[in-house]
Amino acid sequence: MVENMLQRIEYVEETRKDIAKKVSPLHKSKLGQYFTPTSIANFMASLYSFDQFENIRLLDAGAGVGSLSASFLERWLVRDYTSHIDVIAYEIDPQLEGFLNKTLSMYTKLATERHMGYAFKINENDFIEDTVNLIQFGGLVKYSHAILNPPYKKILSKSRHRKLLHAVGIETANLYSAFVALTIKLMEPKGEIVAIIPRSFCNGLYFKHFRNFLLSKTAINHIHLFSSRNKAFKDDSVLQENIIIHLIKSGRQRNVTVSSSTDDTFSDYVINEFPFERIVKPEDKENLIFIPTMVEMNPIETSKTIYHSIEKISVEVSTGPVVDFRVKSFLRNEPMENTVPLLYPGHFIDMKVKWPNYDLSKSNYIQNHEETRKWLLPNGYYVVVRRFSSKEEKRRIVASIVEPHVFGSMLLGFENHLNIFHENKGGLLPELAYGLAVYLNSSVVDQYFRLFNGHTQVNATDLRLMKYPNREILIKLGTWAKSVGIINQEAIDKEVGLLL
């Protein structure tokens, strides 16, 4: 029998590490099995207030070996004024059942010794399936507390999970948001949820429904941001930042505590409190969730000049239409009859284009053919922003200018890893293109962008959600940029700073 708290926690931690080593990468990714280290589990458990319920009913959905429940139970043992606690742990992987059982059993004797009521149940069913059934057909007993590190995996649109979720009014495309949405439905009013999840729901287009649901049913009490992007939530080479979020079902929205640390050592822990308007802007129809880490506001948040939407400046931003593997037979390395330039991110260095570039492993040309023509744009001035910035890059948004004189061609191809700013699928005014590129490359834009985007990917949607100065100001900025030639970061920041 594991005797004291340190030994118990150590046992859980060793089991977690042991299993993490033994589980094959395929099994891991199939079930989204990434277990929570003790330091994080303890931090999560420390966020509960415990003051609303006399009896606790704890949900641990996707429990793994029970690390989260164990940390919760340790916290409960220390506070020991509640009369009873029930733990309901869902874990679909039968291989983990024995370990989970052992973890939760450690607390049976302890609770008895201390005259505290404790019972646990391990449910080996699929959490989504089981919960939807309970919601639809009755038998639901609500929870006072929930702690979760849900699996992280896309839900395909035709899958059974998607249909089940749809049946209870949840539209979401990832298991993690599905687990959180269902958990919200399962909570008592004033019930507390603490979850560790990727940050992607805070701004992703596909998470709008989930954001609306979360914001309408719960109050956000605390957000903890891990600023190092954790490989645990690696998805399609997009490195995600992760957050811990503490929600109160049907709670009154008060100020939000935001803390941050680089990683799970919490060695550089910083904590601040913000009015809710800094987290979700009252006028924002997208309900983006900002995560400020500094008390000072970003100047764009309060600017009287920079508040226009992209539509207001009559510019559009789209993803590059040429998906190269779909038009493989039309790609060319050398110019030939009926070929036009094809631009990849590798063709841009800082603000400038370097084309053709035969050092790249990518094609420089695409055939202008009836099958490809619909993907080509007229030659002109454009601003491009690469969709995937590298980890080493200082700024997330890296904007470059396409100038027509570089290419002796009527048409241009833009590859799918680029975002393009255009006007009605045509070029921009030269000064506007320069102005936009300078604005987008400023440090203040980068800092603003990081408030709502936590990964290395820059999507057209994110650029659509940015605020811009008006067209005249952008043109003025562009006129300045054109006149000075080569511009460094300091000059950009100084000039954009004058607008704030």
Ligand X SMILES: C[S@@+](CC[C@H](N)C(=O)[O-])C[C@H]1O[C@@H](n2cnc3c(N)ncnc32)[C@H](O)[C@@H]1O
**Of 89-97, 393-401, 404-412, 478-486, which segment contacts ligand X by CB under 6 A?**
89-97
**Of 28-36, 74-82, 251-259, 308-316, which segment contacts ligand X by CB under 6 A?**
28-36
Question: Could you say which of 15, 43, 45, 62 contacts ligand X (CB under 6 A)?
Answer: 62
Nearer Cβ to ligand X (123/470): 123
Nearer Cβ to ligand X (33/400): 33
Question: Could you say which of 32, 191, 204, 345 contacts ligand X (CB under 6 A)?
Answer: 32
67: which 2 tokens? 């690390």
Smallest gap from residue 232 Cβ to ligand X (A): 8
Question: Could you say which of 151, 191, 413, 454 contacts ligand X (CB under 6 A)?
Answer: 151
Nearer Cβ to ligand X (63/202): 63
**Of 48-56, 86-94, 323-331, 367-375, which segment contacts ligand X by CB under 6 A?**
86-94
Q: How far apart are the first and last CA of the chain?
A: 64
Nearer Cβ to ligand X (97/301): 97
Question: Could you say which of 90, 120, 226, 365 contacts ligand X (CB under 6 A)?
Answer: 90
Nearer Cβ to ligand X (88/92): 92
Nearer Cβ to ligand X (29/368): 29
Question: Could you say which of 34, 107, 233, 344 contacts ligand X (CB under 6 A)?
Answer: 34
Smallest gap from residue 36 Cβ to ligand X (A): 3
* Burial per residue of 88-102, b for 16 or more beta-carbon CB atoms within 10 angstroms, e otherwise: bbbbbbeebbebbee
Question: Could you say which of 13, 74, 91, 495 contacts ligand X (CB under 6 A)?
Answer: 91
x-marked contacts with ligand X along 94-133 as a string, rule CB under 6 A: --x-----------------------------xxx-----
For the chain, how long is the longest CA-to-CA vector? 86
Point out which residues bind ligand X (CB under 6 A). 31-36, 62-64, 67-68, 90-93, 96, 126-128, 149-151
